[in-house]
A and B are shown apart, each in its own frame.
Chain A
Amino acid sequence: MPALLSVRDLVKHYPIGSAFGRRAARQLRAVDGVSFDLQTGETLALVGESGCGKTTTGRMLLRLTEPTSGRIELDGEDLLGMGRTALRRRRRELQIVFQDPYASLSPRKRVEDIIAEPLDVFRLYRNKNERRERVVDLLRLVGLNAEQLRRYPFEFSGGQRQRIAIARALAPGPRLIVADEPVSALDVSIQSQVVNLMQDLQERFGIAYVFISHDLAVVRHIAHRVAVMYLGRLVELANTDVLFNAPFHPYTQALFSAAPAAGPRPRGQRIILRGDVPNPARIPTGCGFHPRCPIAAPICREQTPVLSELLPGRLAACHFARPFPIPEAADRNDPAHCETHDARSA
Chain B
Amino acid sequence: MNALLEVEDLSVHLFTPRGVVRAVDGVSFRLEAGQSLGIVGESGCGKTMTALALMRLLPSPPARIVGGHIRFNGEDIVDATDARLRQLRGSAMAMIYQDPMTTLNPVFSVGEQIAEVVRLHEHATPQAAFARAVEALHQVGIPEPDRCARAYPHQLSGGMRQRAVIAMALVCRPRLLIADEPTTALDVTIQAQILDLMRVLRDESGAAIILITHDLGVVADLVDDVAVMYAGSVVECAPVADLFAAPAHPYTQGLLRAMPSLERKLHRLPTIEGTVPSPAAMPPGCRFHPRCDLARTICRDHRPPLLGMPGRSAACWALTEFELSIAHVTAA
Contacts and interface: CB of A to CB of B under 8 A. Distances in A.
B276 A187 contact: yes
B54 to A, nearest CB: 23
B121 to A, nearest CB: 26
Given A50-B187, A255-B189, A263-B220, A276 B261 contact: no
Interface in B222-269: 240-241, 244-245, 254-256, 258-262, 265-266, 268-269
B255 A276 contact: no
Contacts of A214: 187-188
B157 interface: yes
A192 B197 CA distance: 31
Bin chain A's interface residue count.
35 or more
Contacts of B42: 187-189
A261 B262 contact: yes
B141 A262 contact: no
A190 B256 CA distance: 13
B226 to A, nearest CB: 12
B262 A254 contact: no
Contacts of B159: 276-277
Given A192-B270, A346-B141, A263 B193 contact: no
B197 A343 contact: yes
B228 to A, nearest CB: 12
Nearest to B139: A344
Q: Which of A160, A187, A265 has the most CB of B within 10 A?
A: A187
Nearest to A49: B187
Contact of A343 (B141, B215, B244, B258): B141
Interface stretch (A12-20, A164-172, A215-223, A313-321): A215-223
Contact of A258 (B191, B245, B254, B272): B191
B215 A346 contact: no
B221 interface: yes
Contacts, number: 141
Contacts of B260: 192, 195, 217-218, 220-221
Contact of A221 (B200, B244, B245, B266): B266
A199 interface: yes
A189 B188 CA distance: 21
Interface string A323-344: 0000000000000000001111
B259 A188 contact: yes
A195 B267 CA distance: 11
A261 B217 contact: yes
B214 interface: yes
A152 interface: no
Contacts of A276: 157-160, 190
Interface of B: 42-43, 141, 143, 157-160, 187-193, 196-197, 199-200, 214-218, 220-221, 240-241, 244-245, 254-256, 258-262, 265-266, 268-273, 275-276, 278
16 contacts: A157-B276, A187-B214, A188-B42, A192-B258, A199-B268, A220-B261, A220-B265, A258-B191, A259-B262, A260-B217, A260-B220, A261-B220, A264-B241, A264-B244, A345-B141, A346-B196
